[in-house]
Amino acid sequence: MKGLQYPVEMVYYALPMREYKILKEAGCSPGVIAHCEAVSRTAIEIVEQVKSVPVDRELVRLGGLFHDIGRARSHDIHHALAGVQIGRELGFSEPILAIIERHIGAGITAAEAERLGLPKKDYLPVSPEEKIVSYADNLTKGSEPMLFDEAMERFRKILGPDHEEIQGWMK
């Protein structure tokens, strides 16, 4: 059993009103907001397991909540760039902007970015907080968490079994 299924509206009770209002006013749909809340929750669960490096829990929480704010304007790979633009307009800190920009895929190299039509640069998570949010996003489908093996199989189907991003995710 995967757990109880709640209507999307009920998820908002766990999401602080200030953050919910930011996502809603940016134009995020209820489904995107529920996904962001689920990613943030999964990311915090990961933080609680990390003992080897210092991690800014609040940055991870906020990064998880706002990582997909760009989906208010785009639902393709460019949502990360749209999210950075929205975040700048809202005065988000540089570390939150970095999470938004670098969460796409399992991290995207400059070569892959160019193939995807993004500006040619690395979109690889660097800080522990960026890596945790990116990983949590990849372990979340909609508002439901996935097991690692399930997420890997999903990526293999989307990208192909030998894709460079599959190898990067395994590291």
pLDDT in tens, 76-121: 999 999 999 999 999 999 999 999 999 997 789 999 999 999 999 9
Structure confidence at residue 163 (pLDDT): 56
**13 confidence band (pLDDT: 50, 70, 90):** very low
How far apart (Å, rounded) are the C-alpha atoms in residues 171 and 22?
34
Q: Is the pLDDT of residue 8 over 90?
A: no
Q: Is the pLDDT of residue 26 over 80?
A: yes
The pLDDT of 118-125, averaged and rounded, is 95
| Whether the Cβ atoms of residue 66 and residue 92 lie closer than 8 Å to each other | yes
How far apart (Å, rounded) are the C-alpha atoms in residues 107 and 130?
10
Structure confidence at residue 80 (pLDDT): 97
Tell which residue, 15, 17, 50, 56, has the closest CA to residue 36.
15
pLDDT in tens, 38-73: 999 999 988 988 888 899 999 999 999 999 999 999
Tell whether pTM > 0.85.
no
Q: CATH classification of 8-170, choosing from 3.30.420, 1.25.40, 1.10.3210, 1.10.3470?
A: 1.10.3210
Structure confidence at residue 31 (pLDDT): 96
**144 confidence band (pLDDT: 50, 70, 90):** confident
**For the chain, which residues make up each domain, given as ranges?**
8-170
Tell which residue, 28, 105, 108, has the closest CA to residue 65.
28
How far apart (Å, rounded) are the C-alpha atoms in residues 57 and 36?
16
